[in-house]
Structure 1
Amino acid sequence: MRFSILDMQLFLPARVASIALGLLCAGLAGCAHNIPISEPPPAVEMPAGWALSGKAADQEWPDNDWWNRFGSPELTELVKEGQASNLEIAAALARVRQAEAQARIAGAPLLPSAEFSAGGNRDLPLGNNGSANTSTSGLLQISYEIDFWGKNKASLAAAEASLKANRYDRQTVALTVTSGIVSTYLQVLSLHDRLNISRENVANAVRVLVLVEAQSNAGAASPLDLARQRSAVAGQRAAIPDLMQQEREAQSALAILLGRSSQTFKVADHGLNTISLPDVTPGLPSELLSRRPDIRRSEAQLAAANANVAVARAALFPSIRLTGSTGAQSSALLSLFNGPNLLANVGASLVAPIFDAGLLKNQRDLAIAQKQELVQVYRSTVIAALSEVDTVLGQIRSLDEQRTLKTTEMEQARFAFNLSEIRYKVGAEDLMTVLDTQRALSDVQNELGKLKLKRLQATVSLYKALGGGWQEDTSHGAVAASPPVLSGP
């Protein structure tokens, strides 16, 4: 049941109804309380520095065009293409456009609404007597809801916060796509290297096989030695088709990120030796709060939820609507707007909830519970971001140590293989020693190639964990980042 002051006009004179409306509004103003629309995000304890950074002094944040630091013109062009053509980014941009429209819709109730209607009627006599009568009318009606409790203002604030959240979400999607392009590109180059290593291993095995065949013909090698080396050659060759398939799959995944068909896409045939290893400085942990778009998105979602609580609270109080209309009615079109034909009406109504089976109260409780959930989501997002950066820093340190040791192992494995091959030629070593050193060299080369890829991808992960150099431009109230797609819409 809802109570309207207009219902009183059925029983009270107009002047008495107006006085009652004024007194009731004054009484409600006396009991009104301030409904907060926004509040700062909850505080989260921030560490003083990164545990595994090793660069406590003179820290700085990554560049917003961080992919250029890998020193690959081809990669730079691919990132540019992906930011312009990726379908996920295009979908995120469409969501931003939707949020912009929602914000404009939410702002409409803050302004008066006007409607105009016009009509005409012609009465024709059924008999011979009488004449046709034509009448016309026009009516302009204006209505406005007084935002006494800030409900409409809070609705607009919620829509604007949701718009910000969608803009930050677009930045997050763009950062994820860019990181995916760089990481997948590095994977393709690594597979190029692994294929070259496999072909080199095949060449080494074939060279030993030629030597074993020559010794077998001379009676210096047994049929068992010959069979073992032929088996080794076949095993080395068998690794190539699998690596080629992995290369095709990686190039196809990269083509999808670029919004292109994999049938018409191919990366240039070179390896990771063309890629520079950037040195990333992580900056201060507290900067993550403004440098990661996913944290800002979570913060904006929390602001929208807080505004929704204000909307739900305001709905518990009466709404006040002012209406006014003016029009004219005449039997002659030309005299429609003459003075005697003009009509005017001004009214005010107050509608207050009396009994709704707890609907409005439960909607308020729902909004409060949703806000409380987003408070925890915000804290979780911040903590996860801090943990992600520290984890990647630990990976980088571990991978650097592994690569140093593995490089030494590969150098010794290559020396051992070359030496065993020479000693086998002069009969100072058996074939099993050659096979063992050859297998060891092949294994360590593959492992070192994988470690190099992991180290480069860990750098990409660190750039992503640090927000990719993105930063909000607070001086203009907009989102600023690297062009073309990371800039605000």
Structure 2
Amino acid sequence: MRKLLAPLAALGLAGCATAGPDYHAPERSAATAPAAQGAFHAGEGGMTSHAPLPDRWWRLYDDPKLDALVEQALAANADLRVADANLTRAQAVLREAQAGRTIGTSVEGGASLSRPSGTGESLPGVVGYDLGLSASYTLDLNGQVRRAIEASSADVEASVAARDTVRTSIAAAVAQAYAQVCAANYSLGVNRQVVALQRDTADATRRLFRGGRGTAFDVSRAEAAVESSAAALPAFEAQRQNGLYLLATLLGRPPADYPAEVEGCAALPVLGQPLPTGDGAALIRRRPDIRQAERAIAGDTARLGVAMADLYPHISIGGSLGLSGPLKDLGGGTSFGMSLGPLLSWSFPNRPVVRARIDQADAQVKADLARFDGTVLEALRQAESALETYRRDAERAAALDAARDSAAVSAGQAQRLFRFGRGDFLSLLDAQRSLAGAEAAAAAARSQLLLDQVAIFLALGGGWE
């Protein structure tokens, strides 16, 4: 036995102890470029800080309702259940690969009824049996099992990263839906105030008309202004209700079972500090999709080793015990048999097929490397774009706030002038129309800033632990 095993083992080790290259994280990639590691170009201006982003970034708003909604979604969301199931499947595949290091066993049994021709034996013939127990253990001299386990382990880690990616998306989606509800109520309140102001003007116009001052044309124009502003209210109500339906879906509920406690939210969540962003290096470490792309390289590098292992023989130790023969001889000495020895398999005649599979696996690794670079660059672009949008929208919101304040002053002055007979009605309507537009624009800009903040948190990859 030893004389036979020695040359076979030497043949199995002819290439290397473990087939294929060992995996190393990409050293020359977009992730290691100096420009990708530093502070964000669009993050200057005092609205953000280089402080690290906390995992549960939504707690920065200090809003218990938002905190509760996110936690509920992370416990019940349907997409997360799918991600958990995918992870469980990957873990089962890993256990299957690890089983390649254990002894494989099989039990076989059978019975037969035969009557050889020309024997003259009467029917039904001879009853025979065949019982056997076999076992084998793969020596894995070429490292194929080891590489398969490495590949499956990387797949498990990639599935964990994929689940984390879903968590970041769910947390951001809940915050955005919550912001949509609050923003709709906020805008609804602002526009209702405008409608109330215009309604007061219309009432005053009717009184003046009845008192002989003013015309029916003034009354109709005032009423038209009220109706025009009131026409915008249903859109905000629909926005609020759609946000509530979205929240219900994210929480794993039917739309009709939306969280009623959120329905009356009228104040926009506010950050009590500059938005923490960290830097590019922190983003690359944090973003789960980047980690998933890196784990794909590791897994496919190991699969390259699995393919290369077919260049060398596969050697295992096997043995079997069995009983066979006619049923009438069961238990006799001639019915017992056994075997023990090395088993060799080698696809040497089909080396072009093996080489083709190696080339396929190598091409996949190269594609993974390119995809990794693309994922890193896209993550950095998303973060820079989100920060740039936030900064410009903040400037726009400040300008719109100033315009609203000026429009409010003008509307007040026009109201007083008209009341004391020193101003015309057309000037009053124009001032109030400007105020209505300025109020709506300022409210929309403030709401957009909140959505911009959530977009930044999403781009930074926050929301998983």
From 20, 24, 27, the equivalent of 1:39 is: 24
Three-state SS of the structure 2 residue aligned to 1:115 is strand
Partner residue of 2:186? 193
Q: Which moved more, 1:355-364 or 1:309-318?
A: 355-364
Is 1:62 the counterpart of 2:46? The answer is: no
Pair 1:80–1:27, CA change in 2 (3 A): closer
How many Å separate the matches in 2 of 1:375 and 1:247?
A: 44
Confirm whether residue 162 of structure 1 aligns to residue 155 of structure 2.
yes
The alignment partner of 1:272 has SS state of coil
Q: What is the aligned partner in structure 2 of residue 111 from structure 1? A: 102
Once residues 110 and 466 of structure 1 are traced to their aligned partners in structure 2, the CA distance between those partners, rounded to angstroms, is: 41
Q: Alignment length, in residue pairs?
A: 452
Distance in structure 1 (CA, Å) of the matches to 2:456 and 2:85: 29
What is the alpha-carbon distance in structure 2 between the residues aligned to residue 134 and residue 437 of structure 1? 108
CA–CA distance in 2 between the matches of 1:335 and 1:363?
49
Q: How far does residue 277 in structure 1 lie from its aligned partner after superposition?
A: 4.8
Query: Would the alpha carbon gap of residues 273 and 162 (structure 1) be closer, same or farther in structure 2, given more than 3 Å must change?
Result: closer
The one of 297, 317, 320 aligned to 2:315: 320
Deviation at 1:327, TM superposition (A): 2.9
- Structure 1 position 399, deviation (Å): 2.5
Aligned equivalents of 2:279 and 2:197: distance in 1?
50
Find out whether 1:299 has 2:294 as its counterpart.
yes
**Quick one: which of 13, 16, 20 aligns to 1:29?**
13
CA RMSD of aligned residues (A): 3.1
Find the counterpart in structure 2 of residue 389 from structure 1.
383
Distance in 1 (alpha carbons) for counterparts of 2:325 and 2:349: 45
One-letter code of the match for 2:288?
Answer: P
Q: Kindly provide the CA deviation profile for residues 107-148 of structure 1, in whole angstroms up to 9, marking residues without a partner as x.
A: 222222011234567999xx9x9xx99876642201223312
Give CA deviations for 1:419-455 in whole Å, capped at 9, x if unaligned.
1111111111112211111111111111111221221
Deviation, 1:332, is 8.4
| Preserved contact between residue 20 and residue 302 of structure 2 (Cα < 8 Å) | no
Q: Deviations over 1:198-246 (max 9, x none)?
A: 2212111111111111222233212222221111111112111222222
Does residue 1:49 correspond to 2:39, yes or no?
yes
Q: Deviations over 1:14-51 (max 9, x none)?
A: x9xx9677535524534447522422224330343222
Is 2:12–2:142's contact at 8 Å kept on the other side of the alignment? no
Give, in whole Å, the separation in 1 of the partners of 2:8 and 2:208: 113
Among 448, 451, 464, which residue is 1:454 paired with?
Answer: 448
TM-superposed CA distance for 1:56, in Å, is 13
Aligned match for 1:426, one of 411, 420, 426? 420
Over 3 Å counting, the alpha-carbon distance change for 1:19 and 1:406 in structure 2 is same
Q: Aligned residue for 1:183? A: 176
Report the CA distance between 1:100 and its aligned residue.
Answer: 0.8
Q: Percent identity?
A: 24
Matched-pair contact (CA < 8 Å) for 2:383–2:460: yes
Partner SS for 1:358: helix
SS at match of 1:432: helix
| Residue identity matched to 1:39 | H
The answer as to 2:137 corresponding to 1:144 is: yes
**Structure 1 residue 261 corresponds to structure 2 residue 265:** no
Query: Structure 1 residues 286 and 468 mapped into 2: Cα distance closer, same or farther (>3 Å)?
Result: same
1:405 to 393, 399, 405: 399
Q: C-alpha deviations, 1:346-384, integer Å up to 9, x for none?
A: 132322224448332222111111111110111111122
Q: Output the TM-score relative to the length of structure 1.
A: 0.84
Amino acid at match of 1:434: L
Following TM superposition, by how much is the alpha carbon of 1:191 offset from its aligned partner in structure 2, in angstroms? 0.3
Task: Give the counterpart letter for 1:52 in structure 2.
Answer: A
Offset at 1:169? Answer: 0.4
More off after superposition, 313-322 vs 235-244: 313-322
Shift of 1:96: 0.6
What's the TM-score, normalizing by structure 2?
0.88
Query: How far did residue 150 of structure 1 move?
Result: 1.2
User: CA contact under 8 A between 1:136 and 1:333: conserved in structure 2?
Assistant: no
Q: Which residue of 2 aligns with 1:487?
A: none
1:256-294 superposed Cα distances (whole Å, 9 cap, x missing partner) = 111112212232313224644553222232122321111
- 1:485 match: none
Contact 2:167 2:463 (8 Å CA) reproduced:
no
Q: Please give the secondary structure, in 1, of the residue aligned with 2:25.
A: coil
